[in-house]
């Protein structure tokens, strides 16, 4: 007899082959990775490449004179200039970016306060109760327009309605 061990000689264990359970002979051997060569050293990811590229110095002309800065600085300068000149798309990009980076406190937006009526309405909504209808000076929740001395009722000029 030989001393070598064959897979057929081992006592068979109960092992069901199926989804996520490959046959034992095709599984990775212990101590061996599924990607033995792995990622090559020195390969760079997209984030690294982009970070290096926008960090490089660049010279461009602004108002006829050369201006040097990183590409990132020059991009934001151009975006801010376009937004300041009324470019809506540039402003739509720049404003959310500023709020995300600096927050409303740094932009001076926290100094605004709600009126007493708006504050009461906000507190009522946050507490889950509805504001009382008799205490409101403004339009009601149904979208009615407040009464105005010059406004006439819908219908004829004399205020009557037709049926």
The model's pLDDT over 7-43, given as tens digits with 9 standing for 90+, comes to 544 545 678 899 988 888 888 888 777 777 777 778 8
**Domain ranges for the chain:** 46-106
Helix axes 46-54, 71-84, angle to 10 degrees: 70
- Compute the residue count for the chain: 163
Checking if the pLDDT of 63 tops 50, the result is yes
Query: What pLDDT score was predicted for residue 122?
Result: 79
What mean pLDDT is reported for the chain?
A: 75
Tell me what the mean pLDDT of segment 88-100 comes to: 90
Q: For the residues of 68-103, what is the DSSP string, one character each?
A: EEEHHHHHHHHHHHHHHTT-HHHHHHHHHHHHHHHH
Tell me what the mean pLDDT of segment 67-77 comes to: 94
Query: What pLDDT score was predicted for residue 66?
Result: 93
As given in the structure block, the two tokens for residue 4 are 């070598």
Instruction: List Cα–Cα distances, 145 to 25, 59, 93, 134, in angstroms.
Output: 80, 59, 36, 15
């Amino acid at each position: 007899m030989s001393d070598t061990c064959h897979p057929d000689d081992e006592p068979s264990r109960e092992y069901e082959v199926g989804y996520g359970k490959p046959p034992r002979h095709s599984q990775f051997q212990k101590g061996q990775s599924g990607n033995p060569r792995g990622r090559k050293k020195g390969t760079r990811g997209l984030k690294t490449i982009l970070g290096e590229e926008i960090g490089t110095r660049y010279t461009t002309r602004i108002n006829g004179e050369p201006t040097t800065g990183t590409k990132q600085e020059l991009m934001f300068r151009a975006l801010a200039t376009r937004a300041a000149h009324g470019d809506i798309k540039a402003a739509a990009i720049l404003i959310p970016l500023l709020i995300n980076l600096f927050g409303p406190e740094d932009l001076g937006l926290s100094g605004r306060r709600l009126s007493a009526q708006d504050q009461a309405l906000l507190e009522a909504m946050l507490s889950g109760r509805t504001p009382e209808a008799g205490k409101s000076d403004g339009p009601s929740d149904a979208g009615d327009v407040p009464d105005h001395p010059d406004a006439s009722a819908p219908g004829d000029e004399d205020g009557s309605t037709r049926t």
